[in-house]
């Protein structure tokens, strides 16, 4: 499967640590760049506009997550299924999945864009957006939503490439978006004085360029993926739509549940004022630093497990899980030490407001719990997602995203009157749920019995 110019890679050969690191490293760099250009919005707006602009970008960023969870869920499901088809050597199914993903996700992007434009004011009110940052938040959110089709497009193309074992090109495309975003951020927010709207516009333009470059690569390799990009082939293929929906809906629910729960919890936090909004927004970005490593390992591990199960190389699966654990543990420990001993420096990157920095110090113990969850989750998500267990995915989505996250936040923040610290801890502790479920699943061995992605209904792998 290797070869010059080829985008399909065999992830079932070679040592597990070496293959996992080689595949995950470009994913890590992609996530790091994406996090950096998201953070650039906050840093530049925070410096040029102040706490009001920083808080607006924080709330606007949460709203952007609200409209992207569908893309994330179905893209991740498509990646897992493509990996399984590659492992089973079913290239015909790969082409059908490409056409199905394009048709489904780009159609949903248009629908979601229209729906958001008619409902964003109600969402901002539900989030208890402070009045003094309402207009900044509106500008940032509405501008970002116009780029929904590019966000969905980039996610689906990157998922197709990752499913084939190619993590290098998605990194190159996000690098293009990052450079464009940073340059335009400095121009729009600085000399042109466009405020948060300028930061959002820079993001949209960067995403559009990234998607177009990614689409060009996919078109050039159309023979490899078995999809000729003829208009009549952009449709929902029944044979792959059913497994995509079966696996994608739980992943969408998982992403949606976490996003909605965070928005609900943040609606309580936002009542405490713009300083609380700013600290929570910055904290989410800092958590995202280790989250970049976690997501890269989870995605790479899921693809490896899916290909291994498709090729019936069962013995590689536990090795992928345990390798993922120790790989993530190393940067988690480093981040924990930095956050513990230099929190003022970290939060000071975003704001020099004394009230913000004082409140930020109370977040440090919560960050330790967040880092623990970030260490334990990736390996377990890789196993659950890679095995294509849609029912277990749904269970994790409901427990992690709704029951634990909202329940613990309300228990600690409201019932026990811990206020903002209680809401922070509720979110952090909920992050341990996937480890408890995934660990049990690994020990049970039920992942060995998951049905082939290309098998008829009711047929199991032997």
Q: What is the DSSP string of 173-210?
A: HHHHHHHHHHHHHHHHHTTT--HHHHHHHHHHHHHHHH
Distance CA 47, CA 101 (A): 40
CA atoms within 13 A on the CB side of 381: 27
SS3 276: helix
Q: What Cα–Cα distance (Å) separates residue 180 from each residue in 41, 157, 186, 289, 462?
A: 12, 19, 10, 21, 50
Non-local (6+) Cβ contacts of 372 within 8 A are: 332, 432
pTM over 0.75, yes/no: no
Q: Taking the CA atoms of the chain, what radius of gyration do you get in angstroms?
A: 21
Min mean pLDDT across 173-182, 253-262, 366-375 is at 253-262
Would you state the pLDDT for residue 451?
Answer: 57
Which band of pLDDT confidence, cut at 50, 70 and 90, is reported for residue 454?
very low
Non-local (6+) Cβ contacts of 4 within 8 A are: none
pLDDT value at 1 more than 70: no
pLDDT value at 5 more than 60: no
**Cα(first)–Cα(last) distance of the chain, in Å?**
25
pLDDT digits (tens, 9 = 90+) for 113-145: 898 888 878 877 877 777 777 888 888 888 888
pLDDT value at 92 more than 50: yes
Q: Which has the higher per-residue pLDDT, 455 or 153?
A: 153
Min mean pLDDT across 110-114, 150-154, 270-274, 358-362 is at 270-274
Cα angle value 182/184/187 (rounded, 5°): 115
Would you state the pLDDT for residue 224?
Answer: 77
Min mean pLDDT across 94-103, 200-209, 261-270, 289-298 is at 261-270
| Domain locations along the chain | 16-449
Find the mean pLDDT for residues 55-68.
75
pLDDT value at 435 more than 80: yes
Would you state the pLDDT for residue 260?
Answer: 73
Report the 10 Å Cβ neighbour count for 54. 30
Q: Which has the higher per-residue pLDDT, 303 or 261?
A: 303
Which band of pLDDT confidence, cut at 50, 70 and 90, is reported for residue 460?
very low
- Tell me the longest C-alpha to C-alpha distance in the chain: 64
Find the mean pLDDT for residues 347-355.
75
Find the mean pLDDT for residues 208-221.
87
pLDDT digits (tens, 9 = 90+) for 354-410: 777 777 788 888 888 888 888 888 888 888 888 877 778 778 877 877 788 788 888
Mean pLDDT, the chain, rounded, equals: 80
Would you state the pLDDT for residue 448?
Answer: 80
3-state secondary structure 80-132: HHHHHHHHCCCHHHHHHHHHHHHHHHHHHHHHHHHHHHHHHHHHHHHCCCCHH
Of 256, 392, 316, 289, nearest in space to 83 by CA? 316
Distance CA 386, CA 378 (A): 11
Find the mean pLDDT for residues 59-87.
80
Would you state the pLDDT for residue 459?
Answer: 40
Distance CA 49, CA 110 (A): 32
**Percent helix, strand, coil in the chain (nearest 5)?**
85, 0, 15
């Amino acid at each position: 499967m290797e070869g010059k110019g080829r985008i399909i890679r065999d992830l079932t050969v070679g040592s597990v640590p070496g293959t996992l690191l080689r595949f995950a490293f470009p994913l890590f760099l992609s996530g790091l760049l994406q996090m950096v250009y998201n953070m650039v919005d906050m840093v530049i707006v925070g410096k040029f506009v102040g706490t009001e602009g920083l808080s607006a970008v924080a709330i606007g960023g949460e709203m952007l997550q609200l409209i992207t969870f569908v893309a994330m869920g179905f893209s991740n499901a498509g990646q897992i299924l493509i990996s399984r088809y590659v492992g089973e050597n079913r290239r015909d199914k790969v082409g059908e999945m490409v056409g199905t993903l394009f048709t489904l996700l780009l159609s949903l992007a248009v629908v979601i864009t229209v729906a958001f434009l008619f409902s964003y004011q109600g969402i901002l009110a539900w989030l208890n957006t402070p009045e003094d940052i309402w207009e900044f938040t509106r500008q940032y959110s509405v501008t970002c939503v116009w780029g929904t089709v590019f966000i969905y497009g980039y996610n689906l193309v990157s998922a197709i490439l990752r499913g084939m074992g190619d993590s290098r090109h998605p990194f190159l495309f996000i690098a293009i978006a990052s450079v464009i975003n940073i340059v335009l951020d400095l121009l729009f927010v600085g000399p042109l004085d466009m405020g948060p709207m300028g930061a959002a516009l820079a993001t949209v333009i960067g995403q559009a360029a990234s998607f177009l470059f990614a689409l060009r690569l996919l078109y050039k390799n159309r023979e490899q993926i078995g999809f000729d990009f003829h208009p009549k082939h952009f449709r929902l293929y029944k044979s792959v739509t059913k497994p995509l929906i079966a696996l994608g809906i739980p992943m969408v629910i998982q992403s949606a549940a976490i996003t909605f729960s965070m928005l609900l919890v943040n609606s309580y936090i936002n009542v405490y004022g713009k300083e609380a909004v700013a600290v929570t927004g910055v904290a989410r970005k800092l958590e995202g630093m280790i989250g970049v490593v976690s997501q890269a390992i989870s995605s790479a591990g899921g693809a490896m497990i899916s290909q291994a199960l498709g090729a019936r190389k069962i013995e590689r699966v536990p090795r992928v899980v345990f390798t993922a654990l120790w790989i993530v543990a190393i940067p988690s420990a480093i981040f924990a030490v930095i956050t513990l001993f230099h929190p003022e420096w970290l939060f000071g990157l975003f704001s020099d407001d004394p009230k913000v920095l004082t409140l930020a110090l109370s977040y440090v113990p919560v960050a330790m719990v967040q880092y623990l969850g970030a260490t334990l989750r990736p390996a377990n998500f890789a196993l659950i997602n890679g095995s294509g267990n849609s029912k277990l995915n749904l269970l994790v989505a409901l427990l992690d995203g709704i029951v634990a996250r909202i329940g613990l936040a309300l228990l600690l923040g409201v019932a026990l009157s811990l206020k903002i610290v209680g809401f922070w801890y509720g979110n952090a502790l909920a992050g341990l749920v996937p480890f408890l479920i995934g660990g049990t699943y690994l020990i049970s061995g039920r992942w060995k019995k998951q049905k082939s992605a290309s098998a008829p209904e009711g047929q199991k792998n032997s």
